[in-house]
């Protein structure tokens, strides 16, 4: 699957769906983004079961602000609607593949149990996204 351009209009629908979604926050003027772009695209062709989305931070300022994107590229990974990873930096292909393997191995029932326990202890905080 090729990458999907994400915007305010389709972000929640795409990222909130079941399964694994990788989101690349980028901008046209960003040198490291241009280096990471082909790595991200190639990975999207190798992992057809994962949704690969791209957010142009210049065109989608509100999305970048909502996720507190301070430096680009930033890669965010969401699985079953839960953000599991969000870090700036252009990953080399091998590191991206390693991250994907780790994300696939996450026990989502355990993650949901941890979230529920945290919310029970601290109260649930309103979601701004």
* Active-site residue list: 30, 33
Longest Cα pair distance anywhere in the chain, in angstroms? 44
User: Environment class of residue 31 by beta-carbon count within 10 Å: exposed (0-12), middle (13-18) or buried (19+)?
Assistant: exposed
Helix axes 31-46, 93-105, angle to 10 degrees: 50
């Amino acid at each position: 699957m090729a990458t999907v351009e994400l915007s305010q209009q389709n972000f929640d629908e795409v990222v909130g769906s079941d399964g694994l979604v990788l989101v690349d926050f980028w901008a046209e003027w960003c040198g490291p983004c241009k280096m990471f772009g082909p790595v991200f695209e190639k990975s999207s062709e190798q992992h057809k079961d994962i949704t690969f989305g791209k957010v142009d931070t210049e065109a989608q300022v509100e999305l970048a602000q909502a996720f507190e994107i301070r430096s680009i590229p930033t890669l965010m990974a969401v699985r079953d609607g839960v953000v599991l990873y969000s870090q700036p930096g252009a990953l080399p292909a091998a590191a991206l593949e390693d991250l994907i393997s780790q994300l696939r191995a996450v026990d989502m029932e355990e993650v949901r149990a941890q979230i529920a326990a945290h919310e029970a202890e601290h109260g649930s905080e309103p979601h701004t996204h």
